[in-house]
Amino acid sequence: MIQDIKTLLKSKPLVIDGALGTQLETKFNKLLQEDGINIQSHPLWSALVLLKNPELIQEVHYDYLCSGANIITTSTYQASKRGLLEHAPGIENDDEVSAVYDKAIELAVEARLQYLSEVDKGSHSLTNKEIFICGSIGPFGAYLANGAEYTGEYDSHIIEQKELKLFHHDITDRFLNNPECDIIGFETIPNYSEFQQIIELMEDSLQKTNKPFYISLNFKDSKTICDGTPLSIVVDYLNERLSRSEVLKSAFIGLGCNCVPLESATDILSNISSLNKIHEFPLIAYPNAGLDYDLSKGEYSIKSSEKQVWEGLCREWLKKLNVRLVGGCCGSGPKEISIIRNVTDRFVIEENSY
> Residue 162, CB half-sphere, CA atoms under 13 Å: how many?
0
> Distance of alpha carbon 138 from its chain centroid, rounded?
8
In the chain, DSSP finds a helix count (H) and a strand count (E) of: 14, 12
Q: Alpha-carbon distance 40 to 44, whole Å?
A: 9
Rounded to whole angstroms, what are the CA distances from 174 to 32, 76, 136, 180, 184? 29, 12, 12, 11, 10
User: Which DSSP symbol is given to 255?
Assistant: E
Parallel, antiparallel, or unpaired: how do β-strands 183-189 and 213-217 relate? parallel
Helix ranges restricted to H, 145-287: 162-177, 192-205, 231-244, 246-251, 265-275
User: Which DSSP symbol is given to 208?
Assistant: T
Q: Do the annotations mark residue 257 as ligand-binding?
A: no
Backbone angles phi, psi at 141, to 5 degrees: -60, -30
Q: Do the annotations mark residue 330 as ligand-binding?
A: yes
280: left (phi over 0), alpha (psi -120 to 50) or beta: left
Q: Alpha-carbon distance 175 to 168, whole Å?
A: 11
Q: Alpha-carbon distance 282 to 279, whole Å?
A: 9
Angle between helices 54-66 and 20-34 (to 10 degrees): 140
Of 137, 271, 144, 155, give the one whose Cα is nearest residue 198.
Answer: 137
CB atoms within 10 A of CB 311: 15
Identify whether the C-beta of residue 131 lies closer than 8 Å to the C-beta of residue 72.
yes
Q: Do the annotations mark residue 181 as ligand-binding?
A: no
User: DSSP states of 16-43 as a string?
Assistant: B---HHHHHHHHHHHHHHHTT--TTTST
Binding residues: 259, 329-330
* Binding-site positions for Zn(2+): 259, 329-330
